[in-house]
Structure 1
Amino acid sequence: MTDGHTITIHKSGRHVRAVRDGQVLAESDRPLELRETGCPVRYYIPAEDVRLDLLTPSGTHTVCPYKGTASYWSLPDAADLVWAYPDPEPGVAELKDHYCFYDTEVS
């Protein structure tokens, strides 16, 4: 990126879980680790490791000039808890079919 903004994505072997009120929403040993200038490290979990049956699509969408347009999912008591980039920008294409949670446990 020419403006000093960088994004790096690496396959991680770390164990990542997303839990809310004792319910495991996602668990994976193969997340993508995303590091972005000015942001905390985020783990993007493959769709196969996410309990999509527990999540409801939200009408919320946000736009990142580097990653693309994000779509969000919610729980009944937690709006927009999860997001993904269904059609990510070419430079971060590996984010497709991966979900990110605001709260994750990493080990």
Structure 2
Amino acid sequence: MADRKILTPDATHPITIGRCLSTVVVRKGSLHIARTGSALTLVEASYPPVHYVPRHDVDMSLLERSQHTSYCPYKGEASYYSIPALGEAGRNSVWTYETPFDAVGGIAGYLAFYPDRMEIELAD
């Protein structure tokens, strides 16, 4: 990773992480994947907010570790999971930063889900 650029959030590319005040429910049809009152919401620059769910509130029996990875210069290396029950839509549909950079260290141990592949609901 020494050849990869590492950037720190700043005024030109802000990143904030805060506790989500709603219960976050992740599902696809009748398949319930996660439910938590302890999610974090990460807001990065002009991107839509992303809800990160603690691993212990995810039904990990539905997930299968993938070989896919990606890199963000602000957050670090992301690892992925697939949800086989969702078929192609479930492929690499969950990501996590297991050792995120210090600026976003709070998301370690949390998982995020692609909202175009499953339903992510906020309930009061």
Alignment TM-score > 0.5, same fold: yes
The residue that corresponds to 1:105 in the other structure is 121
Higher strand share: 1
The residue that corresponds to 1:43 in the other structure is 51
CA RMSD in angstroms, aligned pairs only:
1.2
Aligned CA distance change for structure 1 residues 23 and 8 (closer, same or farther; 3 Å) = same
Q: TM-score, normalised on structure 2?
A: 0.82
Number of residue equivalences = 107
> Alpha-carbon deviation of 1:106?
1.3
Cα deviation per residue 1:47-104 (whole Å; 9 max; x = unaligned)? 1101111100111100000011000100121101110000000000010000001121
Find the aligned partners of 2:19 and 2:26 in 1 and give their Cα distance. Answer: 18
Is the partner of 1:80 in helix, strand or coil?
Answer: coil
Matched, 1:19 2:27: yes
Where structure 2 has 5 or more consecutive residues not aligned to the other structure, the ranges are 1-8
Higher helix share: 2
Q: TM-score, normalised on structure 1?
A: 0.94
Moved beyond 4 Å, runs of 4+: none
Where structure 1 has 5 or more consecutive residues not aligned to the other structure, the ranges are none
Find the aligned partners of 1:67 and 1:86 in 2 and give their Cα distance. Answer: 10
Please list, as runs of the form range in 1=range in 2, the aligned pairs for 1:54-69 lying within 5 A after superposition: 54-69=62-77
> What is the identity, as a one-letter code, of the residue corresponding to 1:94?
G
> What is the identity, as a one-letter code, of the residue corresponding to 2:82?
S
Find the aligned partners of 1:13 and 1:63 in 2 and give their Cα distance. Answer: 29
> Alpha-carbon deviation of 1:2?
4.1
Is the partner of 2:103 in helix, strand or coil?
Answer: helix
Find the aligned partners of 1:19 and 1:2 in 2 and give their Cα distance. Answer: 34
Find the aligned partners of 1:99 and 1:2 in 2 and give their Cα distance. Answer: 24
